[in-house]
Amino acid sequence: MLLCASEGRHWRYEVCEHDDGYLVQMRDLATGELDEEFSTIFRTLPVAFAYAEMSAAYERYAARELEQSEDDQIEIDVEATERHFIDLSDRLHDSGINGVVAQAWERESQRGQVRLLH
């Protein structure tokens, strides 16, 4: 279930419910496709929200740099969202885990126990 989304210039950062907590995933605004390489799972919802906001702010900042725009508010947003994420992450002891790592871990646990015979 999608809980919230923060939009950058080209990507939307979605916070969804997940069995292990809250998943932040990246969706292309033009095609609607998910980026399989970008996903992070957090144990707490406030940290997942803050991470999505920070990711969108970073993306807007990077797009501004490429377009050579002069919007100073974007730089202020990046600093504020980064500070907010770090503060929450530290207080709640939730730095997240890469979604690709979590998927590999889940696949391995589903394989069952392998016994070695001598």
- Residue in 90, 84, 33 with CA at minimum distance from that of residue 55: 84
How many Cα neighbours within 13 Å face the side chain of 112?
Answer: 3
Q: Please indicate, yes or no, whether the overall pTM of this predicted structure exceeds 0.85.
A: no
Cβ neighbours of residue 26 closer than 8 Å, sequence gap 6 or more: 11, 12, 13, 14, 34, 35, 38, 39, 55
- Listed by start position, the domains of the chain span 2-101
- pLDDT tens track of the chain, all 118 residues? 899 999 999 999 999 998 889 999 999 999 999 998 889 999 999 999 999 999 999 999 998 877 776 777 888 899 999 999 999 999 999 999 887 777 776 777 777 666 666 6
The identity of residue 87, as a single letter, is D
